[in-house]
Amino acid sequence: MAEKISLINDLKERGLRVTPQRAIILEAIEKLSGHITAEDIFALVQKSSPYISLATVYRTLDLLKELGLITESHMGTGTTHYALMTHGPHHHAVCRKCNRSIELPHDAFMPLVEKLHSEYNFIADANHVVILGWCQECQPED
């Protein structure tokens, strides 16, 4: 319940303004959990205040990205998806068909991340990996 306060405080601490638009957009992002697009946020935001523009949604998303509060991911489609960076690194398995997303714990990726480091000297930026595929209900039957 007090979650959104922390987002707002983050803005204040950086000397950024807390405008009604930003507050509404932050609230919408929290309400829409999982992978959401700028349009998703825009659509929800419009219901409470129809005068908030799409450009502002994008500008706010940029801001949150810089503050490290959300992560961006690009799946098959041309549209960028965003997700709240609430509780440390986590990942998603996203269904190609129904778009449902399953949250995966970070440790599912640890062996891979460690292997990359030890064998390839590669530091994976595995804060939010997205794996595409098919969920239980949408699996090709053949």
Q: Which two tokens stand for residue 58?
A: 């994008």
Binding mask of the shown chain, residues 2 to 31, with x at each position contacting DNA by CB under 7 A: ----------x--xxxxxxxx---------
Residue 97 touches a copy of itself, criterion: CB under 8 A: no
**Total residues at interface with a copy of itself (CB under 8 A):** 32
Provide the Cα torsion 39, 23, 51, 15; round to 10°. -100
Identify residues 60-89 at the interface with DNA (CB under 7 A).
60, 62, 78-80
Q: Which is nearer to DNA, 15 or 111 (CB)?
A: 15
Q: Which is nearer to DNA, 33 or 49 (CB)?
A: 49
Q: Quick check: 63 and 38 in contact, CB under 8 A?
A: no
Q: Give the Cα separation of 140 and 50 in Å (integer).
A: 41
Strand partners, 91: 104
Q: Which of 27, 58, 75, 126 binds DNA (CB under 7 A)?
A: 58
| 3-state secondary structure at position 73 | strand
CA distances from 6 to 12, 86, 129 (A): 10, 11, 25
Q: Quick check: 105 and 90 in contact, CB under 8 A?
A: yes
Closest approach, Cβ 70 to a copy of itself, in A, equals: 14
Binding site for a copy of itself (CB under 8 A): 72, 74-76, 78, 80, 93, 95-96, 102, 104, 108-109, 111-112, 115-116, 120-126, 129, 131-136, 139
Binding site for DNA (CB under 7 A): 12, 15-22, 37-39, 51-56, 58-60, 62, 78-80
